[in-house]
Chains A and B, each alone.
Chain A
Amino acid sequence: MYGYTSKTLRVDLRLKKTEIISTPTGLNKKFMGGRGFGVALLGKRILNEFDSPDMPLIFSSGPLVGTAAPTSGRSSVISRSPLTGTVMDCSVGGKFGTALKKAGFDCIEIVGIADSGVTLTIENGRATVEDAERLTGKNVEEVRKLIGGKGSDAVIGIAGEKGVKFASIVFDGHYLAGRGGLGAVMGAKRIKAIKVKGDGAVPVYDREELQKAREEIMRLLRASQAVFGELGLSEFGTSAFVDLIHSRRMEPTDNFRATFYDFASSYSGYRLKNRYKTKKTGCAGCPVLCKKVGERGEIIPEYETVSHFGALNGNNDVESIIEANRLCNDFGMDTISTASTLSCYAELEGAVPGPDEMLALIKKIAMREKGPGEALAEGSYRYAQLQGRQQLSMSVKGLELPAYDPRGAYGMALAYATSNRGGCHLRAYPISHEILRKPVATDRFSFEGKARIIKIAEDMNAVVDSITACKFVFFAASLEEYAKAVSAVTGMDHDAQSLLKTGERIYVLERHLNSLNGFDINDDDLPERFFAEEGSSSPNIQVKPLDREEFLAARNNYYRARGYGQNGVPDSDLLVSLGLGEYL
């Protein structure tokens, strides 16, 4: 089969047994790959707790991975989130997906719990589970030195071992499956690292057509100011957004009590580039190279990270922001949740930690040290709830919100609330049209038309995470061009609409699986602050509180656009119509 290896590696950690099985027939047609494969394979096992032996942890590549399609080096990790309890998928960069595919596998499905720390090594069609107790209690950088060698790796740090609810899995040193605590799932299974190496080729149906699709995509990327322009992602990485979001007065500041931070320029893309003399690097198969590394090897954080360790925590000390990011990468923790939990703590305590204290707290959280460390390791929602102040957790479904204030972009507000995995900017990514004006601009201070826009964008991003490609490309290209690439790789006839239908199937299945765990309309809401407090307005830009009635009307419209019932849950007719009857 073109575009796939047709093989899945199944690993039972309790038995230390690996088994190569055929990737289930028909999975590719219905779910494409990546996130879609993961959600489909997870299925009703979502009813298990995240740390149950029966809860699978799935790593999955897509049909474009390892081919000449631009930005095709990504893969997905899927399981149940310890932080939110929802289905959780993370699209991750680096070269893991490419290595996995070249090693001969579409997916890895890991179940069971090892008796003690282990590693999984995969090389060219073979896999072994090995004792690795020597790695226990070590952080990512040290583990990577110890396991060494060529290929790609996925590693957890101490935070994953300790069950920090927002622990992440770190790929190739600094690409994170960041959100939702999948590192804690890996930690619960006592698997410390996965190492993959492969030299195989990915079969492509029509290389000439793939080259044509690539040229069309590259032409659009080169025409994009946001991607390849002199102020764009290729030059500055996502920290290019610092100045932009600042100028739109929608940067979350002081735990979302304000939306404008006077000192944002101290960690802007321009400042970081010049201060650290950054070089471009990036994921396998990516021409954009948005990842930035300083001349002394400093990993330059993403926009959300600099903004949240900066404005959200009232911190303009750039060195401490870089160090906070390094610590999170090394311990294996999500920077958005870490920073947001710290700012929630600061508001509750009534005192903002200085840079040194902030760094010390990060270590305490990662180590689950008694006191604030242990309390904050549960995430902002559980922490604030224990204090009886859960309204100060700036989260949706327990997942802390990223660095775009919803009062400054109403589509973002709706997308945060309705997201299947909680407070996430990437499910629908309305920043693309509300701020970046792509593919066209929409009025950021209006809910008009946003329900269906969000629905379509969620479907689009679900399939983008499944083919797999990077969402940044879609600031320039569209599914029209990527459908051509998928068809060329797989030999199956795809177009933009067939891909969107696949995305819809994936998204609705996620929603259904969440509903099995009790999620419904009551979970699709924003913190009260956004309806009650004004942001940081200026004479030209008024950042008003969200109108509750308008928000609820838009949410209702969204359910109608999706075909959900009034409780925000898909019914059996919808599931059957999308070919999901087997999940009822």
Chain B
Amino acid sequence: MKRLLDKYITKMVRQGLAGEDSIFFLGLDAELESNRPSEAGSTELARVFEMMNINSLLYAEPAEPYRSIICSLTEQGEEKLTPSDCETRTFLHDIPVIEELKASEIFKALSRRKAAIIRGKGIVAHGTVSPEQAFVSFSSACFSAFVKFFTDIMFSLEDCRKKNLPADERTRRSFHDIVSKLPPDGISENPVAPRVPEQEDDVYASIVKTGTALVDNRLVDSYFGNISYVHGNKIYISQTGSSLDELETCIDAVPLDGSSSAGITASSELSAHIGIYRATGKKAIIHGHPKFTVIQSMSCRREGCDLSTCYKTCRIPRFIDGIPVVSGEIGTGPTGLAHTVPEAMAGRNAVIVYGHGIFIAGSDNFSTPFDVMRTVEQKCRKEYFRAMRRLL
């Protein structure tokens, strides 16, 4: 258990989610283990295990800008946050807010939800199978809060503008403070070489390398997203719930004729990937959740629309930098992105899904799709701040 706790602590630090000194991670098999057993925080968190049927518990004060974001989002006494990105809607539903790092409060919140915010302090999350669940929920809460903060503030300022009201000072201050804590918007060298994989081994190696590059460049939240490559009569795709920086043993080879169901463990976006390949003939597909791409995908508030359903039913054409934005829920359901994305991808190389992220297809290597993802994210970020400057 200790090995697993250490693994996810390292990931949190590496991904800029929290500093090592602020993390408390506890795991229970027969014995309770903690990364900081002698500290008071651990003692209180250990009490939660007496109340809950769980095997892991994570508490941390997030790193900036997440810390300031959750403080800002919860400073008005909110009892819960309900971000409207795909991740929250599907998996977290909402994020309750509690007042103190107290076992009884944590028990109450985590009995109903995967993660909770402790007002002004941090985020707590749990797992019943593995510490990985707590890590993923923590990371998803950070992502969702980030998207919610920048989306809400833009909508709030738009509303002020419409009503000819000035933006309130608290909003301005909070925005400028958090923007000052964002990591720089720099594009480093593309780590993905434009090499066409020729043998099956090359395909695996290319997918592994691209996955690591996506995580290192923070183009996916947690480490989720998915990657595929069509070679011969198979599509090679990352497995569901796989860590994109650990894909060595987590790639499924799925026959395109459907003749084997061994790929039942493939990414939940398998159908979308196959659909994209069939619609475009492009072989290298990546999907990630760059934050400002997600934020900009949700920036539409067309009058007369039911804004509560546009994530799944909107069919009105919209584009970001020439890339279509489509509705679509995860998976193959009637409003699933397995239908909307391939259709929109015909004749193009990228499609953005409302509140979710971007799919990009390259002809035969991952270098171009990786570049497109970085470039689109950079443009979305620029466009967001350009719009905000107008509103402020």
Residues of A within 8 A of B (CB): 216, 218-220, 222-226, 228-232, 235-236, 240-244, 246-247, 265, 268-270, 433, 435-442, 448-453, 456-457, 459-460, 480-481, 483, 495-498, 500-501, 504, 556-557, 560-561
A440 and B262 form a contact (CB under 8 A): no
A225 and B240 form a contact (CB under 8 A): yes
A-B contact pairs, 15 of them (CB 8 A): A216-B93, A219-B333, A224-B331, A226-B240, A231-B261, A241-B261, A270-B261, A437-B239, A437-B240, A437-B241, A448-B29, A449-B130, A481-B93, A497-B53, A557-B29
Interface-centre pick from A222, A229, A235 (highest chain B CB count, 10 A): A229
B264 and A223 form a contact (CB under 8 A): no
The minimal Cβ–Cβ distance linking A292 to chain B, given in whole angstroms, is 13
Is B89 part of the contact surface with A, judged by Cβ < 8 Å?
yes
Question: Residue A222 contacts which of B54, B242, B270, B331 (CB distance < 8 angstroms)?
Answer: B331
Is B151 part of the contact surface with A, judged by Cβ < 8 Å?
no
Is B329 part of the contact surface with A, judged by Cβ < 8 Å?
yes
A231 and B264 form a contact (CB under 8 A): yes
1/0 per position for B39-71, CB-CB distance to A under 8 A? 000000000000111110000000000000000
Is B15 part of the contact surface with A, judged by Cβ < 8 Å?
no
B268 and A231 form a contact (CB under 8 A): no
- Which residues of B sit under 8 angstroms from A216, Cβ to Cβ? 93
Question: Could you tell me the distance between the alpha carbons of A246 and B271 in the complex, rounded to whole angstroms?
Answer: 23
Question: Residue B4 contacts which of A223, A246, A449, A452 (CB distance < 8 angstroms)?
Answer: A449
- Which residues of B sit under 8 angstroms from A457, Cβ to Cβ? 129
Question: Could you tell me the distance between the alpha carbons of A557 and B4 in the complex, rounded to whole angstroms?
Answer: 17
Q: With A222-B333, A228-B331 in contact, is A500–B113 under 8 Å at CB?
A: no
Interface-centre pick from A219, A228, A481, A495 (highest chain B CB count, 10 A): A219
Is B112 part of the contact surface with A, judged by Cβ < 8 Å?
yes
- Which residues of B sit under 8 angstroms from A435, Cβ to Cβ? 265
Question: Residue B30 contacts which of A219, A495, A560 (CB distance < 8 angstroms)?
Answer: A560
- Which residues of A sit under 8 angstroms from B266, Cβ to Cβ? 225, 229, 231
Question: Could you tell me the distance between the alpha carbons of A449 and B4 in the complex, rounded to whole angstroms?
Answer: 9
Given contacts A216-B93, A222-B336, A439-B241, 6 further A-B contacts (CB under 8 A): A230-B270, A439-B129, A441-B239, A449-B130, A556-B30, A560-B30
Question: Could you tell me the distance between the alpha carbons of A230 and B266 in the complex, rounded to whole angstroms?
Answer: 10
The minimal Cβ–Cβ distance linking A228 to chain B, given in whole angstroms, is 5
Q: With A225-B268, A437-B241 in contact, is A268–B130 under 8 Å at CB?
A: no
- Which residues of B sit under 8 angstroms from A223, Cβ to Cβ? 90, 268, 329-331
- Which residues of B sit under 8 angstroms from A246, Cβ to Cβ? 262
Question: Could you tell me the distance between the alpha carbons of A438 and B336 in the complex, rounded to whole angstroms?
Answer: 20
Question: Residue A436 contacts which of B112, B127, B128, B264 (CB distance < 8 angstroms)?
Answer: B264
The minimal Cβ–Cβ distance linking B62 to chain A, given in whole angstroms, is 21
- Which residues of B sit under 8 angstroms from A243, Cβ to Cβ? 260-262, 264
B129 and A229 form a contact (CB under 8 A): no
Question: Could you tell me the distance between the alpha carbons of A450 and B128 in the complex, rounded to whole angstroms?
Answer: 11
The minimal Cβ–Cβ distance linking B45 to chain A, given in whole angstroms, is 16
The minimal Cβ–Cβ distance linking A97 to chain B, given in whole angstroms, is 26
Interface-centre pick from A225, A270, A556 (highest chain B CB count, 10 A): A225
Question: Could you tell me the distance between the alpha carbons of A573 and B112 in the complex, rounded to whole angstroms?
Answer: 28
Interface-centre pick from A228, A242, A439 (highest chain B CB count, 10 A): A439
Question: Could you tell me the distance between the alpha carbons of A441 and B224 in the complex, rounded to whole angstroms?
Answer: 13
Of all chain A residues, which has the CB nearest B27?
A449
The minimal Cβ–Cβ distance linking A492 to chain B, given in whole angstroms, is 14
Is B120 part of the contact surface with A, judged by Cβ < 8 Å?
no
A232 and B264 form a contact (CB under 8 A): yes
A244 and B331 form a contact (CB under 8 A): no
Q: With A219-B90, A437-B240, A495-B111 in contact, is A451–B30 under 8 Å at CB?
A: yes
1/0 per position for B114-129, CB-CB distance to A under 8 A? 1000000000000111
A228 and B332 form a contact (CB under 8 A): yes
Is B258 part of the contact surface with A, judged by Cβ < 8 Å?
yes
- Which residues of B sit under 8 angstroms from A270, Cβ to Cβ? 258-261
